[in-house]
Amino acid sequence: MKQVIALFIVVLLFTLPLFAQQPAINPAPTPAPVDSTAQLRSTPDTIPPAVQQKGRIGTDGTPRPIRVGSSVLTPEGGSETLASDTVQVTAKQEAQIRKIIPRKATIRSLILPGLGQAYNRQYYKIPFIYAGFGVMGYLFVKYKGLANQAEEGYRLLLYGRKISDKVYEPVDSVVIGTQIIRTTTGAKAGYDLYRRYRDLNILLSVALWGINIIEANVAAHLKTFDLSDDISMRIEPRVLPVPGAGFVPGVRVAFTFK
């Protein structure tokens, strides 16, 4: 009996795999390893030829840049960022600017006020210059007349009004401008004051002439100021010697003028 049972168990162990449930879908085979950077390395870092032909070739057959925002694309795939603080001038403007010579502007303003400003093509400054000279001229004439009245009034109060060669009539008061003066001291003080104002207007007129010359020279230099890349400022790291501390890191600011 025991032998029959053992034989039955052995037969059962060999037949169970035959009745086991088979999987409905066989698993997919494992893919072969692929280099993920091969595609990136094979992609050319350039602008497609269609874009180059359409956007980079001008009417004269010369290549022209493709502008995207503030950058310029190049055929090699790079870009150049346009400097936003650079003044762009045309060839005609450049030719006009280079014709201005500061020395000529200075000499012309020295000869005649406003002539240097006209040479610099800054005509709007000329009326202000002559308005200043007009005010100075008006005040000079005004105070010169008052000074002459004060001088004559001083003589009348001191000696009197002349009637004949040897006869003078005493004078109690004189009129200087809108004021009535009764003493020689007041007449002398008025004469000194008006003469000082008269001389001050002469000095201010000379100063205005000098300012006109300096302004023409400075404006001519500014109009011929070089706006190219030759003028630049560079900030570079640098090691600086410090007494007692050896060498310490620092920053070097370099200005380039040409």
Instruction: State pLDDT tens for residues 100-122.
Output: 888 999 999 999 999 999 999 99
Least confident of 15-19, 70-74, 79-83, 179-183: 79-83
Per-domain residue ranges for the chain?
100-225, 227-258
Q: What's the CA dihedral at 7, 9, 14, 20 to 10 degrees?
A: 150
Instruction: Find how far residue 2's CA is from the centre of its chain.
Output: 112
pLDDT of residue 98: 59
Query: What's the mean per-residue pLDDT of the chain?
Result: 75
pLDDT higher than threshold 90 for residue 17: no
pLDDT of residue 37: 54
CA distances (Å), 243 to each of 67, 240, 246, 248, 251, in order?
Answer: 52, 10, 6, 10, 17
pLDDT of residue 116: 93
pLDDT of residue 79: 46
Report the DSSP beta bridge partners of residue 162.
Answer: 168
Q: Which two tokens stand for residue 147?
A: 């000074």
pLDDT higher than threshold 60 for residue 153: yes
210-239 residue pLDDT tens: 999 999 999 998 887 665 555 566 777 777
Strand spans (E) along the chain: 66-68, 71-73, 79-81, 161-162, 168-169, 174-176, 179-181, 232-242, 246-256
Q: Who's near 39: CB < 8 A, 6+ residues apart?
A: none
